[in-house]
Structures are given as C-alpha cells and as structure tokens.
Amino acid sequence: MKQVTISNPFITLIVLDYGAIIQKLLVKDDEGRYTNVVVGFDYPSQYHNDKASLGACIGRYAGRISKGGFTLDRKTYPLFNEKGVHLHGGKEGFSKKYWTIEEVHKGDEPFVRLSYFSKHLEEGYPGNLKVTVTYKISNNELHIIHEATTDFTTVVNLTNHSYFKLDNENGIDHYFLKLNCPKIVETHENLLPTGKLTPVKDTPYDFSSERQIGATRLDTPFATDDHSSFAAMVYSTKSGISMEVNTNQRGVVIYTPQHFPAICFETQNFPDAPNHPNFPSSVLRPSETYRNASIFKFDLVT
C-alpha cells in the first residue's frame, strides 16, 4: 500500500492508493497545534478490514439504489443488494480497490491525482469507466475533484467519505452546524428515497440558522441551495476549528455514525437517482465528463 503526503503552511494531507483514502488531514487549532480532523487508522493495512469507508472514494454510485438495480435506455442492470438495497457501489465498490497514483505535485498548490479503471459490468454497471480523483490544497482549503468518462452510457455518483472530527473531544454535541439546504430527500426507514423533497422548516433537520448539533443524529440526504455561497458549515467550540463545505453537487448526505463521534459531508447527487426521473440525472454518456468539485475550507472561529 502506497502513501503520499502533501502539505503547505496551513494543511498537511496524507492519502493512500488503496481506496484513494484520505488517511490524515492535519490543520492548526486555535493554539497553533496540528489536529487531525478526519477519523482514520494509524496503519494503512488496517483499512483492509474497515467497514465504514473511512476517508475513501465511493463509487460507482455513492449512496443507495433500490429495486435491485436500474433500467437505462430500456435495458435493466441488476446490482448486488442486501434486502433490496444496493449501497456505495456494491459488494466492494471503489473504496476497496487499489488506485494508480498518476501525479504528485509538491510546489505551489500541491496536489495528488489518482485514477481507477472500472471495467464494463463491474458490480453490474455498464461501460468502461475511467475515474480520477484529485486532492489539492490551496491555502486553508482542501479541493476534492472527481472526474469520470465512459465508453457506454452508464450512471455515476462519486463522493469522498471522510468522517470529520474537529477536536479531540469524545463527542460532537457541542459542534455548531449551519446548512444552506432548504429541503431534504425524504426517505423510508431503510433510507431509500420516497421520491419526494420536503422542506426542513420546523423540523429537526432545520439548520438554516446556525445551532448546536446537540442530540440530533443524521443519516440524511439534503438538497443544496444553488444560490448560497456554501452548502454547509460546522465548527468546534473546543478547538476553534471551523469547516465550510462548498460543492457543485445538488446534494450532500450528512451522516453522524452511532459508534464514534464524527460527521460526514458526502457531496453528491441524490441517492437512487437512477430510479427517480424527477431527481437530477446521474446518467453519463460517452460524449460527456462527470465532475464533482467540492471545497472544504478550514478556519478559526473567535
């Protein structure tokens, strides 16, 4: 397993070729000490047994797909599923693959670019898919850019699955959260979408005004507001570290796991879009390039 480190005066990033995983993301707290703001393992080999997709690239389709597959251009493609739910690209998905380190740049605005070639019908998806993910640091920002091209019409939805933890406390109840997301993608108990978007106003999902997370726990797809300067913002009152999330995607799945204190911001298309014509299209055709560009900006609150 290969490991790449890039850094600037604000951020140090450590990436693995396995799963294109962000192993560590070090930023400075309000006392100038480096804090690793993502949950991860100390030893790369430990990721082989990870079931939480810590820091990994998720694909070919991030999130859930219903009905055991999807129909595209009149052809049905069955997918691996458990109890009718296909999750995060299938039995393995991109998070369990070795990626190729294509380029490492350590000068101004350092970056690392990795690639993966997903063969036609891998996990049931049509088309030979060429995927790249670029991690770039610019001042106090981490840029994550997923791109993909195909030789046959397919569906694509990629995201990074880092669990953010902005301090060394044993909890996230004290975090303050603000979401420029006026609606959620309504889901059934198994977290598959119903097909409806519902307003967050006067619900536990309403973080349109900054407030403490408290006891609220989420595994929720939010619809972003195209007119806002950022999709989400979170900060810790203990470390003083804040993170702002900006994306060109129509959705962000916010996930607070039960078994450890952290919060995910999975910038992506809506779950199960291939089975909901009213959702933003996830279809990628041979003449097109898929692009998910997201920025995670770190700062200190006073």
Q: Which residues are known catalytic residues?
A: 161, 266
Q: Decide: residue 292, CB within 10 A, 0-12 exposed, 13-18 middle, 19+ buried.
A: buried
**What backbone torsions phi and psi does residue 153 show, to the nearest 5 degrees?**
-55, 130
Cis peptide before 60 (omega within 30 of 0): yes
Residue 86 three-state SS = strand
Say which DSSP state 107 is in: S
SS3 of 110, please? coil
Who contacts 265 (Cβ-Cβ below 8 Å, separation ≥6)? Answer: 164, 231, 232, 234, 245, 252, 253, 254, 296
**What tokens were used for 111?**
């970056």
